[in-house]
A and B are shown apart, each in its own frame.
Chain A
Amino acid sequence: MPEKKSGSHFFDLKIPLGSLLSFYGFILVLYGVFGPRYIYEKSLGLNVNLIWGVLILLIGGLFLGFAHFRRRNSN
């Protein structure tokens, strides 16, 4: 049986997770900026897509940043 090194058994989940969230943030920001305005009547006039998109983009970027940092350190 091959010896197991902790944490190195599978690929880093932060990469797909960070990519997915960054993609969501990105398209929500775009939609918030260029999309229709009338849909925000529901959310009391708040452009939730823009605000939330920026936040999700940040979280996604954070995951990708950590993953990148870790990979560089382990090389």
Chain B
Amino acid sequence: MDPIISLKLIDYLILAAYVAITIVVGYALKKYMKTSEDFFLSGRSLPSWITSLAFLSANLGALEVIGMVANSAKYGILTVHFYWIGAIPAMVFLGIFMMPFYYNTKVRSVPEYLKLRYNEATRGLNAFSFAIMTLLMSGISMYAMALIFRMMLGWSLTSSILLSAGVVLIYVFFGGLSSSIYNEVIQFFLIWLGLLPVVYVGLKAVGGFSGLAAKLPDTFLHAWKNMGSAAANPMGVDWMGVVLGLGFVLSFGYWTTDFLVVQRTLASENISAARRTPIMAAFPKMLVPLIVVVPGLIAVAILPEYSVALQGTATPDYNSALILLLAHYLPNGVLGLAITGLLASFMSGMAGNVTAFNTVWTYDIYGTYIKKNMPDEHYLMMGKLATIFGVLFSIGTAYIVQSFPNLMDYMQLIFSFFNAPLFATFLLGMFWKKATPWGGFFGLLSGIVAAAGHYLLYKLNVIHYSSEMAANFFQAWWAWLTDFVVTIVVSFFTRKKAESELKGLVYSLTPRTKGSEMFWHRPEVWGSVALIIMVILNIIFW
């Protein structure tokens, strides 16, 4: 197959400049990496504008952009649920209620909080499952990138994988989390600047938003109207699945307990900056559908292979929708910029996974089970070694994930095994002081087992859903509920921790910090504004 896009010198120049600057930034950060906290947590010194954009970008990786444009071409405006109800409430909740526990206790990772609040076993369970999940995700990112680059430019899978892995390895090895975060901020600008031209030209071609709406079926144009029953909308999910599965369990599980995103908030310079991080990120987050959902809709309206699919006679390759659109509308120059934006989001997605992995590996696995109480330099060195292992493991994973067709569904699947139950453990841990150490452990374990069991029953056709996505959403919900109930039940029969040990870890045993800032600096105010805007957006696109 011939590559879809042929690049010229100008495009290669743009691409090369990006690769060069990331390596320079990584290398320049090398001299600041004196302690393990510098390497793993940026010395807790970054301003909130940087951590907010990184918080957002960490999730705007390869899967997001390609997968969400694909979802939009498949399901239409329903895709906004991943950005609004499926993100904003959780981000606001993290900033207002949970951040004080994460930041003030000085924990260095999510598993470490579990150790303080529950016990060593709970931390171990979370740390190992997180480490595995992270490497899987990293492999997915790389595989997605390699596929795209083969289709776009004709590069072989292996050469794209080795190139991206090599660059990520260099800059994370030198600069740790700071490299990763700085690169995410650069990526934030590149992805917007790279994709907005195609949105603009595409909209112009279809006659603006009204012209676009005229070319699409009604089910593609409403976020809620057709959610009454799963059969009435292309996603095959009803409103309960979206609200409980995506909006509550998956979203809160991901945004408030996934160390990949939480790590960015821990890098903040102080507690107010840490609390502002997810809340300030909520505003650009709500706008992301402009560069992912709109291109998907344009693809359906303009490109024949996707408009044919509306009649249900063909199943096109949705994951190539964005690339075809770029090839269709963008001249060389801005085309190179768009491709650089994609490359940046691929690489920073992978770097995010690698930095989260090396932190959890070093602090929660190596430093807990393998070599305790070593001098700090030893752990700094281990972090650098883990970066190399992590990249090598990701490369292996990239070759494994090739057998799964829809990347996004696969991602949801992994989330629901590990992350969905975790939020129940945190919710009870932070807000119910009677949750006991073993309650937390068995709750989490049974949640993961419930998710895996549900998946098995669904695959064996014992339980039926109208779509794969509905199955994933409800699986998350049942896993969460299992964890929640089991934690409570086991807590009644096992020994509690002394209240003195839980100070600062549980809401009712933590002194409230009084809001001394002006009211327009308070996270509660901005969080409310974000929620109000989200509700308005949902009404507009009802």
Per the bound structure, the CA–CA distance linking A21 and B205 in Å amounts to: 28
Nearest CB to that of B327 among chain A residues?
A: A42
Over the window 49-75 of chain A, the binary record of Cβ atoms lying under 8 Å from chain B Cβ atoms (1 yes, 0 no) is 100110010010000000000000000
Nearest CB to that of B175 among chain A residues?
A: A10
B interface list, Cβ under 8 A from A: 10, 13-14, 17-18, 21, 24-25, 28-29, 32, 35, 42-47, 50, 178, 182, 185-186, 189, 193, 197, 201, 204-205, 269-270, 328-334, 337
B10 and A43 form a contact (CB under 8 A): no
A6 and B270 form a contact (CB under 8 A): yes
A56 CB contacts on chain B under 8 angstroms: 193
- Shortest CB–CB separation between residue A19 and chain B, in angstroms? 8
A46 CB contacts on chain B under 8 angstroms: 201, 204
A-B contact pairs, 6 of them (CB 8 A): A9-B45, A11-B29, A24-B193, A27-B14, A42-B329, A48-B197
B185 and A32 form a contact (CB under 8 A): no
- Shortest CB–CB separation between residue B103 and chain A, in angstroms? 14
B331 and A20 form a contact (CB under 8 A): no
B32, B201, B333: which contacts A9 (Cβ < 8 A)? B32
B329 CB contacts on chain A under 8 angstroms: 42-43
- Shortest CB–CB separation between residue B371 and chain A, in angstroms? 22
Contact count band on A:
20 to 34
Pick from B24, B42, B47, B337 the residue with the most CB of A within 10 Å.
B337
- Shortest CB–CB separation between residue A12 and chain B, in angstroms? 10
B185 and A7 form a contact (CB under 8 A): no
Quick one: given A6-B45, A9-B43, are A27 and B10 in contact (CB under 8 Å)? yes
Per the bound structure, the CA–CA distance linking A8 and B47 in Å amounts to: 10
B330 CB contacts on chain A under 8 angstroms: 42-43, 48
A1, A8, A13, A35: which contacts B185 (Cβ < 8 A)? A13
A10 CB contacts on chain B under 8 angstroms: 29, 32, 42-43, 45-46, 178
B205 CB contacts on chain A under 8 angstroms: 44
- 5 A-B pairs with the lowest CB-CB distances in the bound complex, closest first: A9-B45, A39-B331, A49-B333, A6-B269, A31-B333
B204 and A44 form a contact (CB under 8 A): yes
Per the bound structure, the CA–CA distance linking A49 and B197 in Å amounts to: 9
- Shortest CB–CB separation between residue B67 and chain A, in angstroms? 25
B337 and A40 form a contact (CB under 8 A): no
Quick one: given A48-B331, A49-B331, are A59 and B13 in contact (CB under 8 Å)? no
Per the bound structure, the CA–CA distance linking A16 and B28 in Å amounts to: 11
A16 CB contacts on chain B under 8 angstroms: 21, 24-25, 182, 186
B337 and A28 form a contact (CB under 8 A): yes
B193 CB contacts on chain A under 8 angstroms: 21, 24, 52, 56, 59
B32 CB contacts on chain A under 8 angstroms: 9-10
Quick one: given A7-B47, A48-B331, are A20 and B17 in contact (CB under 8 Å)? yes
**With A9-B45, A49-B334 already in contact, 15 other A-B pairs whose C-beta atoms are closer than 8 Å:** A7-B45, A9-B42, A17-B186, A21-B189, A23-B17, A24-B14, A27-B10, A28-B10, A28-B337, A31-B333, A43-B330, A46-B204, A48-B333, A49-B331, A53-B333
A42 CB contacts on chain B under 8 angstroms: 328-331
Per the bound structure, the CA–CA distance linking A35 and B336 in Å amounts to: 14
Per the bound structure, the CA–CA distance linking A43 and B330 in Å amounts to: 6
- Shortest CB–CB separation between residue A9 and chain B, in angstroms? 3
Per the bound structure, the CA–CA distance linking A12 and B32 in Å amounts to: 13
Per the bound structure, the CA–CA distance linking A46 and B43 in Å amounts to: 47
Per the bound structure, the CA–CA distance linking A1 and B44 in Å amounts to: 14
- Shortest CB–CB separation between residue A17 and chain B, in angstroms? 6
B29 CB contacts on chain A under 8 angstroms: 10-11
B25 CB contacts on chain A under 8 angstroms: 13, 16
A8, A11, A44: which contacts B201 (Cβ < 8 A)? A44
B10, B45, B50, B332: which contacts A4 (Cβ < 8 A)? B45
